[in-house]
């Protein structure tokens, strides 16, 4: 096994925060793809590029559009890239969680028929964004080396 300059192995299990960020990113990629699958997305024929007029719903519940699905795909790809490093994984989870809380607030305050509802958002999306926001933020902040949860799986307290 190769060693880095501090004598630690460079090969081996990834820290938990990176694994969690990879899983979250993969889920967003999956959701982005599923948004383009007829049957998984109901009323697929009503899928619009953007805006609140899109009648398509992922899993029959979450209002989606082509733009909405593309944003899920881009966010998932961003997460895969950021999860390559511990700091990036934490930023993806905590920063993404904060962004989803902001999106929840935006959807909560937004008039559903307004032009500003370009993603689109419905009540199910808003509740999901609230849960994602708190969940991702908590994971990004709590999976840290200081708490003993962000280190390598073979050494829970992997401090620099």
pLDDT in tens, the chain (160 residues): 454 555 455 566 889 999 999 999 999 999 999 999 999 999 988 888 987 788 889 999 998 999 999 999 999 999 999 999 999 999 999 999 999 999 999 888 887 777 767 777 788 989 999 999 999 999 999 986 554 444 554 444 444 4
CA-closest candidate to residue 41, choices 7, 77, 2, 72 = 72
Q: How many domains does the chain have?
A: 1
Is residue 153, in this structure, part of any structural domain at all?
no
Is residue 94, in this structure, part of any structural domain at all?
yes
Is residue 113, in this structure, part of any structural domain at all?
yes
Is residue 86, in this structure, part of any structural domain at all?
yes
Full domain range(s) for residue 94: 16-142
pLDDT at 160: 46
pLDDT at 1: 45
Is residue 124, in this structure, part of any structural domain at all?
yes
């Amino acid at each position: 096994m190769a060693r880095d300059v501090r004598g630690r192995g460079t090969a081996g299990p990834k820290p938990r925060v990176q694994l969690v960020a990879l899983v979250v990113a993969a889920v967003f990629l999956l959701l982005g793809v599923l948004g383009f699958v007829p049957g998984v997305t109901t009323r697929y024929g009503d899928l619009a590029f953007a805006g609140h007029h899109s009648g398509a719903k992922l899993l029959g519940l979450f209002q989606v559009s082509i733009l909405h699905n593309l944003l899920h795909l881009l966010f998932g790809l961003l997460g895969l890239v950021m999860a390559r490093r511990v700091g990036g994984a934490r930023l993806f989870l905590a920063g993404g969680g904060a962004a989803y809380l902001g999106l929840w607030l935006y959807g909560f305050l937004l008039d559903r028929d307004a032009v500003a509802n370009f993603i689109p958002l419905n009540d199910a999306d808003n509740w999901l964004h609230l849960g994602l926001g708190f969940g991702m933020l908590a994971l990004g902040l709590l999976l840290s080396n200081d708490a003993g949860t962000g280190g390598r799986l073979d050494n829970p307290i992997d401090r620099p």
